[in-house]
Amino acid sequence: MDTLNLSDDQIILRATSLVERFKQLHEFAEANGIVLPEEYDATREGGYLGLHDSKRDVSHFLQAGQILKVKDPEYDWKETKYLVFAKKKILALLDEEFGRVFKTLGRLKIDKRYCISFSGRSPHEDEALVILLAYQCAWIDYEKFKEIQEEIKNPYLGGKICDFLLAA
């Protein structure tokens, strides 16, 4: 399915690149004397990216990066948990008023037609990933990116950390 003028392959390539940058973030932070948020977990790998087209009323979910085969007490496997959470984030956006352009914690409404979600890392990393992906894919412009950045104050969307992640 082509979404927002990009193929699934193009989107997942960019999302996977961002996942890889998050995995490398601890080395970058250590080398540059940056303290990462306590929630950062270098052992986390990939997750699921959700894409929804409201006009066609269709959602689909793509794996971004490798997901470790780890048991989860509630969902049996982490992979299942991440997929369920990515779906729940899309559903939560669809339940919200369409006038709001963005929402935090791993979900982003691009416009009245499209929304995206990600689940697989910490909540603030999921949030940063969808915003950075939207910016890299030109779904939001620089002005909107800065507006979101200032409003939500996500620790991964500022300074050297953000610059490192955007270099993906």
Owning domain of residue 40? 8-166
The answer to whether position 3 is within a domain reads: no
Read off the pLDDT of residues 125-163 as tens digits, 9 standing for 90 and up: 999 999 999 999 999 999 999 999 998 889 999 999 999
Stated pTM of the model: 0.87
Quote the Cα angle for 117-162-92, to 5°: 20
Element spanning 9, H or E: helix 8-31
Q: How many structural domains is the chain composed of?
A: 1
Say if 131 falls within a structural domain. yes
Instruction: Examine residue 1 and state whether it is found in any structural domain, yes or no.
Output: no
Q: What's the rounded mean pLDDT across residues 24-35?
A: 96
